[in-house]
Amino acid sequence: MTEIEGLVIPVIISIIITSIFSIFFMLQEKIDKGFAINYYKLSYRRKMIRTLTSFPLLIVASILILWGNHLQSFLTPTFI
């Protein structure tokens, strides 16, 4: 499998699944209070709150992953 197929196939699947969930939950009542696991059942206000609270966590997780990869490459012995 080429690199482009490895990128295009997951993107297409994500778009299809997102479209299906958006259409399915379009006319259902939205949740504005409390906790909901399903993102598509949330109101616009709750979607914004979830995005604003998860964004810093995503940044911290990304930094930790990159730092861990850098630390791992630093600790592995290289033989010439």
3-state secondary structure at position 59: helix
The reply to whether 45 falls in a domain is yes
The reply to whether 21 falls in a domain is yes
The residue segments making up the domain with residue 9 are: 3-75
Structural domain total, the chain: 1
Q: What pTM was estimated for this model as a whole? A: 0.58
The reply to whether 27 falls in a domain is yes
Q: CA 50, CA 73: separation in Å to the nearest integer?
A: 34
Q: CA 54, CA 58: separation in Å to the nearest integer?
A: 6
Average pLDDT, the chain: 83
Decide if pLDDT at 44 tops 60. Answer: yes
The reply to whether 80 falls in a domain is no
The reply to whether 25 falls in a domain is yes
Decide if pLDDT at 78 tops 90. Answer: no
> Would you place residue 2 in the very low, low, confident or very high pLDDT band (cuts 50, 70, 90)?
low
The reply to whether 48 falls in a domain is yes
